[in-house]
Structure 1
Amino acid sequence: MAVAQHHHETSKTGALPPFWTIARRDSLAGFLFIAPQLIGIITFVLVPLGLVFWYSLHEWNVLANTFTFTGSQNYRMVLEDTNLLEVLGATAIFSVGLVVLNMSLALLLAVLLNQKLAGIAIFRTLFFSPVVVSLVAWTIVWGFLLQKNGGINGMLLMIGVEGPNWLREDVTAMISVIVVQVFKNVGLNMILFLAALQGVPRELYEAARIDGAPAFKQFRRITLPLISPTILLTSIITIVGSLQVFAQIAVLTQGGPGLSTTVLVYYLYQQAFQFHYFGYGSTLSILLFVIVAVLTFAQWQMRKRIVFYEN
C-alpha cells in the first residue's frame, strides 16, 4: 500500500526516473571492457592511416624541413611511375608463389602428421620450430647458404652439379626468397590445418570406407569441405602476409637484381626512407592498403560459394 502511494506521489509530482538504470550500467560496463582495444585501434590503426593519407597529399622533405601541399600530384605520379608496373608484377609473382606453395605444403604436412604413429609429435615440433626462430637470423643464415660458394651449391657440387648464383639471377632470386619465406612460416599454417583435421568426425571416414570410397575421394568429398573455413582463414592470413614481406627482401636481395625481387613494401620503403620522398611513399602505402582490402573483401565474399559450414 505504501509503495503504491509513493508511486502515485512520484507520478503526481512529475519526478524523473533515476539516470543509472540497470541497462545503462550494463552498457557502461561493456564500453569499459572494450575501451582498451578501442583506444588501441584508434591510436595505432585509424590515426596512422589518416596521417598517411594526409602525408600523401604533401611533399615532405625532411632534410630541407619543408612540408608542401601538392594535392593529387603524388597520385598522378603513381600512374606515371614506369617502375611501378614491374614492382607490382614482382609482388604478384611473389605472392602467388608464396601462397600456393605455402598452403599446399602446409596441407600436405598436416595430412601426413595427422597419423597416429609413434614419435609423430617430434616431427610436428620439428616442422613448427622455424616459426619461432628470429626472422632476421633465419634470413641471414639462408643468405650464406644461397651464396655462390655457399652451402647449397656445395652440396650440389658433391653430386657433380654446379649451382647458380641464387641471389644474383632474376629467376633464381625470386624462387629463393619465396622458398626461404615458405620454410619460415609453413609450420603456422600446418598447425592450423592439423587442428582442423583433428576436428573432422572419424565416423564420416568409416562410412565412406564401407561404401568403398577411395582415399582421394574421401579427401575431396569429406576432408576439404569440412576444413574449408580454416582454408579461408589461412588463405587470408597468408595473402596479407605475402604483401607485407620486407625483411627477407632487404636482407637477401635488396630488391635485386634490378627490380626482379622489389615487392611493393620494399619499393615504398626505398621511396620514403632511402630517397626521402615521404609523400610518394605514403601514396604507395595507400595503394598497398587498397590492394590488401580488395583482396580480403573478395575472399570474404567468395566464402558463400567455397566454404562449407556444418550446421
Structure 2
Amino acid sequence: MSRLREQPTTAGRARRWWTARRRDQLAGYLFITPQILGTALFVIAPLVMVAWYSLHEWNVLAGSFEFVGDANYRQLLDDPGLPGVLAATGVFSLGLVVLNLSLALWLAIMLNRRFAGTTVFRTVFFSPVVVSLVAWTIVWGFLLQNDGGINGLLSVIGVDGPNWLRGEATAMGAVVVVQVFKNVGLNMVLFLAALQGVPRELYEAASIDGASPWRQFRRITVPLISPTILLTSIITIVGSLQVFAQIDVLTQGGPGTSTTVLVYYLYQQAFDFHHFGYGSTLAMLLFVIVLVLTIIQWRMRRRWVFHEN
C-alpha cells in the first residue's frame, strides 16, 4: 500500500514541477543555444586567444612562441607611428559617418515622397550594397586613376583632375567617398522604413499650426526616427573602424601613411612584418575603442532617443 501511495505522489510532484512556464523557458533556451554556441566559438574564444597572443612574441618563421608579459603593450605606448594611424582612423570614421548618415537620410526623405520611379531609384541606390566589396573597390580604383574615368569626365569640362589615390590631400577623401557610395543604400532603406512609420497626421497638424518644413523635420521626423538613427550610427561607426579591403585595394595605406587606418596597420604588423604578438595587441586596442564608442552611444541614447527618455 505504501508503494502504491508513493508512486502517485512522485508523479504529482513531477507534474507540478514541470509547469508550462518551465516548458516555455526550456524552449527559449533551446532556441538561443545555437546563437550562444556560435558567439562562444567565433567571438568569445577568438577574443580570449587574441588577448593571450598579445602577451607573447610569436614568430611564425622562426617557430618561436615566447611569453613577454606587457612588453607589447609598452611598445604600443612607445610606437611613433601609432598617433598618425589613430588620426587617420579618426578622420576616416568621422568623414564616413557624417557623409553616410546625412546622405542616407536625405535620400530616404526624397524617396519617401512617392514620386514616379521611386522603385527604380531605390534599386539603384541599394544595388551597391549587394555587390562584392572587392569588385566594387577595383572598379573605383580604375575610375580614380590619373587617367581614369573621373578625370576623363572632368577633362570634358576643361578641369584637370588630380591623381586622386596618390595625393595626400585627396586619397583619404576618395576612399571615404567610395565607402559611402558602397553602403549608403543600407542606411537609406532603414531610414525609409522608419519614415514610413511616422504618422502623416502629425505633419498635417503641424502644417495647420504653421510649422515650417524644417521645424517639422526637427520636432517630428528626427524624434520619431531617433531609434533608427541610433542603430545606423552604431552600425556605421563600428563598420568604419573595421575597414580593410578598400584601403588595401585602393591605396595600400599611402601615400606615405595618410590612409593607414588601424585595421590596415594591424594587418601590416601581423602579416607583413610577422609581429603577431604586437598585431594582437593592436587588435585588443581596436576592440577597446569599438567597445568604448558603443557604450558611450548606448548610454547617451536616453538623452535624445525617443521612447528612451
- TM-score interval, normalised by the smaller of the two chains: over 0.9
Deviation at 1:120, TM superposition (A): 1.1
- Taking only aligned residues, the RMSD between alpha carbons, in angstroms, comes to 2.2
One-letter amino acid of the counterpart of residue 175, structure 2: V
Deviation at 1:29, TM superposition (A): 2.9
Q: How far apart in 1 are the matches of 2:98 and 2:270?
A: 31
Of 57, 63, 66, 1:65 maps to 63
Bigger mean CA deviation after superposition, 15-24 or 95-104: 15-24
Deviation at 1:31, TM superposition (A): 2.2
Aligned to 1:151: 149
Q: Secondary structure, in 3 states, of the residue corresponding to 1:18? A: helix
Q: How many residues align?
A: 306
Aligned to 1:100: 98
One-letter amino acid of the counterpart of residue 56, structure 2: H
Deviations 1:204-252 (A, max 9, x none): 0000111111111111111011001100000000000000000000000
Deviations 1:117-172 (A, max 9, x none): 12211111111111111110110010001111111111111111111111011120
Aligned to 2:187: 189
Identity of aligned residues (%): 71
Q: How far apart in 1 are the matches of 2:294 and 2:76?
A: 22
Aligned to 1:18: 14
Q: Secondary structure, in 3 states, of the residue corresponding to 1:68? A: strand
Deviation at 1:14, TM superposition (A): 9.7
Of 55, 72, 82, 1:74 maps to 72
Aligned to 2:201: 203
Give yes or no for contact 2:301–2:308 (8 Å, CA) kept in 1: no
One-letter amino acid of the counterpart of residue 91, structure 1: T
Alignment of 1:111-260 (within 5 A): 111-260=109-258
Structure 2: runs of 5 or more not aligned: none
Give yes or no for contact 2:302–2:308 (8 Å, CA) kept in 1: no
Deviation at 1:17, TM superposition (A): 3.8
One-letter amino acid of the counterpart of residue 18, structure 1: A
Deviation at 1:8, TM superposition (A): 11
TM-score (normalizing by structure 2): 0.94
One-letter amino acid of the counterpart of residue 14, structure 2: P
Aligned to 2:296: 298
Aligned to 1:56: 54
Give yes or no for contact 1:226–1:310 (8 Å, CA) kept in 2: no
Q: How far apart in 2 are the matches of 1:65 and 1:92?
A: 36
Structure 1: runs of 5 or more not aligned: none
Q: How far apart in 1 are the matches of 2:83 and 2:218?
A: 38
Deviation at 1:309, TM superposition (A): 1.6
Deviation at 1:62, TM superposition (A): 0.4
Q: Secondary structure, in 3 states, of the residue corresponding to 1:171? A: coil
Aligned to 1:265: 263
Judging changes above 3 Å, is the alpha-carbon distance between structure 1 residues 10 and 287 closer, same or farther for their aligned structure 2 residues? same
Deviations 1:13-32 (A, max 9, x none): 99994397235544433322
TM-score (normalizing by structure 1): 0.94
One-letter amino acid of the counterpart of residue 253, structure 1: T
Q: How far apart in 1 are the matches of 2:82 and 2:282?
A: 10
Give yes or no for contact 1:193–1:227 (8 Å, CA) kept in 2: yes
Aligned to 1:110: 108
Q: How far apart in 2 are the matches of 1:71 and 1:106?
A: 46
Give yes or no for contact 2:223–2:306 (8 Å, CA) kept in 1: yes
Q: How far apart in 2 are the matches of 1:24 and 1:158?
A: 73
One-letter amino acid of the counterpart of residue 48, structure 1: P
Give yes or no for contact 2:151–2:161 (8 Å, CA) kept in 1: yes
Q: How far apart in 2 are the matches of 1:34 and 1:193?
A: 29
